[in-house]
Amino acid sequence: MTLRYLPDAGKLYGPEFARDPQAIYAAMRAQHGAVAPAEIAPGVEAHLVIGYQAAIDVLTNAAGVWIKDARAWQARLPDTPEAAAMVGMLGYRVNVLFADGAEHARYRKVIADCFGMIQPHKLRDLVIDVSDSLIRRFAATGSADLAGDFARQIPLRVFNRLLGRPDADSSALISALSDMMEADGDVGARGTEAYGRYIGELIEAKYAARGDDLTSWFIDHPAGLSPEEVLQHLILILGAGFEPMASLISNTISRMVSDDRYYNSLSNGALSTYDALLEVVRAEPSMANYGPYFVSRPTEFHGTWIQPGELVLVSYAAANTEPCDVPEELRSDGGAYVGFGAGPHRCPATDPALLIAMTAIERLTSHLSDLELTVPREELAWRPGPFHRSLAHLPVRFTPIRPDQPGESPWSAQHPSSSTPSDPISQPKSDDYATSAPWSS
């Protein structure tokens, strides 16, 4: 079967999907098996890969038919605002995500080299700095929305510093990216435009004056990326680093504060933050459905015919949670997962992503050790959109702490690497993060 009919396609948008995506995946699985027709916005179709083995088959490209070039798909898109809004996330760009073969390897090396220049302990110091400055804003009040006040602020503030951009710009960046990920008609299109503007200004500033930052390393990498290639990779890195990072942090906190196994861990170490993070990557991955893939020739795949130009999305969320005959306690893999992808396009930033999330959450729970949700977890609202699993709000209460109280607090525990700890967050010293460039030795 191919995507010419859609009466029974799973709808990956709207309140029903946001409330309980697993119910939609289960219905799709029951009706179609490993690959199911889906609608990611009104009138925009995709094949959704929901079986674990099928996901691995696409991601590792064992059959050699899978390609990333989205242009043939784009040419067939209906001329509607809903379809246009999908282009921000899925439209072809000159970057690693949409490249294959040698072109992909060239881009991937630049990313690996430049991310490899960030020293983990420096990144940790930076996240501590950013986390404490955010916690200081609400610690004395006894309540917070940890999605908006904390999780969604962390990645962009961290990347702002890593890229060498003033903190004052982070709010504009947060709203542009949130709009873009919402992928909802005009809002999505507006977000895409604002995001492009932000990155354009960043590039212009760094070509004019290099710093010790990711942007400058991209520009100076011996692979010799063109200005357009640098621009497109910064767009990708900020987009890829923001929404999945923010949701990984808030989804993990929401589990830790509503599940006794983790609640206990805050005081007696039953299960760690790292355990919680891996559980989220497996059971509720923040990048729920993505990894756009296409076939280079008509292909019969797990019972479905797929034609060139048809969009295939991998449902990391559905693949990870596919019912399995082997009971959990007998599985030696602890529950295999593809929450960071697999194969050549597997997330190249898994280690920094886990480090950022773990440091931020541990900072939060070490300062505010009695966090609890103000509503049961089942009543939390999730943001709409086909690609992410992302909490709209994460309302918590806790015993307030004050700047003048004894013991460690986000005020007293300012990290030695902080330059000036007042808000807005201070800029780093120029040599803060870098190890030496692999291409300079």
Q: Which residues bind ligand HEM (CB under 6 A)?
A: 59, 96-97, 108, 111, 236-237, 240-241, 244-245, 248, 281, 285-287, 290-291, 314, 316, 339-341, 345, 347-349, 352-353
Instruction: Tell me how far, at minimum, the Cβ of 18 lies from ligand HEM, in Å.
Output: 18
CB of 399 to ligand HEM, least distance (A): 30
Rama region for 280: left / alpha / beta (φ>0; ψ in -120 to 50; rest): alpha
Smallest gap from Cβ 389 to ligand HEM, in A, equals: 10
User: Whole-number minimum distance, CB 344 to ligand HEM, in Å?
Assistant: 6
Tell me whether residue 281 or residue 425 sits nearer to ligand HEM (CB atom).
281
User: How far is Cα 105 from Cα 275, in angstroms, rounded to an integer?
Assistant: 32
Helix, strand, coil in percent for the chain, rounding step 5 = 50, 10, 40
Tally of CB atoms within 10 A around 381? 15
Beta carbon of residue 230, minimum distance to ligand HEM (angstroms, whole number): 14
Nearer to ligand HEM, 390 or 409 (CB): 390
The least CB distance from residue 419 to ligand HEM, in Å, is 23
Least spacing, CB of residue 214 vs ligand HEM, in Å? 9
Is 267 exposed, middle or buried (CB count within 10 Å of its CB: 0-12, 13-18, 19+)? exposed
Distance CA(382)–CA(379), nearest Å, equals 9
77 or 353: whose CB is closer to ligand HEM?
353
Q: Which is nearer to ligand HEM, 288 or 425 (CB)?
A: 288
> 54 or 59: whose CB is closer to ligand HEM?
59
Three-class secondary structure of residue 313 per DSSP:
strand
Beta carbons of 402 and 142 less than 8 angstroms apart: no
| Residue 177: strand, helix, or coil | helix
244 vs 410 by CB, closer to ligand HEM: 244
Distance CA 302, CA 299 (A): 10
Give the Cα separation of 118 and 391 in Å (integer).
29
CB of 421 to ligand HEM, least distance (A): 24
SS (H, E, C) 190-236: HHHHHHHHHHHHHHHHHHHCCCCCHHHHHHHCCCCCCHHHHHHHHHH
- CB-CB neighbours of 440 under 10 Å: 7
Q: How many residues does the chain have?
A: 441
